[in-house]
Amino acid sequence: MVKVEAPGVGDGMRQWPPLSLGEGEEEYSENFAALNRNKRSVVLNLKEKADREYFKELCRVTDVVLENFRPGVMKRLNLNYKIIKQINPKIIMCSISGFGQSGPYSEHGAFDVTVQAMSGIMSVTGEPESGPVKCGVPIGDFCAGLYAAYVISAALLDRESNGGEVCYIDCSMLGSLIGISALQTSEYFGTGEPAGRLGSAHPRNAPYQAFEAADGFFVVAAGNDSLWQEVCGAVNLPELVSNPLFKTQRLRARNQKKLGKVLEKEFRKKTITHWLEEFRNRGVPCSPINNFAEVMDDPQIEHMQLVEDITLPNGKVTKTVKFPIAITGYDLNIYRESPLLGEHNDEVKKDWIKNNEERTSD
């Protein structure tokens, strides 16, 4: 994978902290490293004709072009899909943007928080009495990337296996967030009422949320009647099973505030460790509420081997999370460290263009 960056500072994420010092005084962004390992970097000024021509040469020998300029920029550069397809009829091109390539908002700028707001995500995030809250992880950015990767993979498979048409993919952050909001949109379509903020609670299940113990908070998720009975046994209140307010899953969800008060009164009497052990022994899903320091030190993460060392270009050794899915027969370890800006200008020219020309001439 080749990342095309502008001259000067390149991708703005290169300036994002934490900036770690290496063997000398050179700093390197750990955020950038986490998202750009296994990539090579070339520098091109696409406003310059010579660099645009070089970009076209890269397009001639690649399978996929992925870009995230504002809609209209690639057309103004004379590098839109219509032009690129003439250069390489088999190419697949994907554009990621905030609101799509057409429509009244297409040219609006977008960052993760603005699209979370537009999509409705912020209206269901946070406690009922709180103001709007964005998700702590930039799900607008990452969901669009995941949708793009999925569709690109499907298009490549169709092209190679079934002789399918090459295609242009218009992937918007807004559409991606609407796509993962199926439960909330279907609730609206079914009731005519938009979902609201429930904090950590669930609109159709209870107890299914965070509760306070004697020394902090933990989560329990009793998603069916048998698990609910185990919760009642754990807090030594068997009479709750037959309580008319809580007899069914629907009733427990409807009356979850009252249920929460009853349960939390008991939970506050003992520690998180006690309740986690109790619920795990009973087969009830539960969890501590970890921060990232705690989860990175968790034995399950160690068992899954999700964290490995990585060396930044400045020589600093740090850690990163590797690809999180295990696939039989595939080694998914990091095979290339994140790049310096323009580090692979000559290498890509040799590998992609010169070598291709030599193969073609043979």
Catalytic center residues: 141
Whether 316 contacts 16, CB under 8 Å? no
What whole-number distance in Å separates Cα of residue 180 and Cα of residue 121? 10
Helix (H, G, I), strand (E, B) or coil at 66: strand
Q: Which of 130, 131, 126, 125 is nearest to 177 (CA)?
A: 125
DSSP-assigned beta bridge partners for residue 94: 66, 169
List of residues 6+ apart from 121 with CB closer than 8 A: 134, 135, 139, 140, 177, 181
In this structure, the dihedral spanned by the alpha carbons of residues 149, 151, 156 and 157, taken in order and rounded to 10 degrees, is 110
Beta 168-172 vs 92-97: how paired, if at all? parallel
What whole-number distance in Å separates Cα of residue 139 and Cα of residue 243? 40
List of residues 6+ apart from 81 with CB closer than 8 A: 74, 93, 168
Whether 28 contacts 17, CB under 8 Å? no
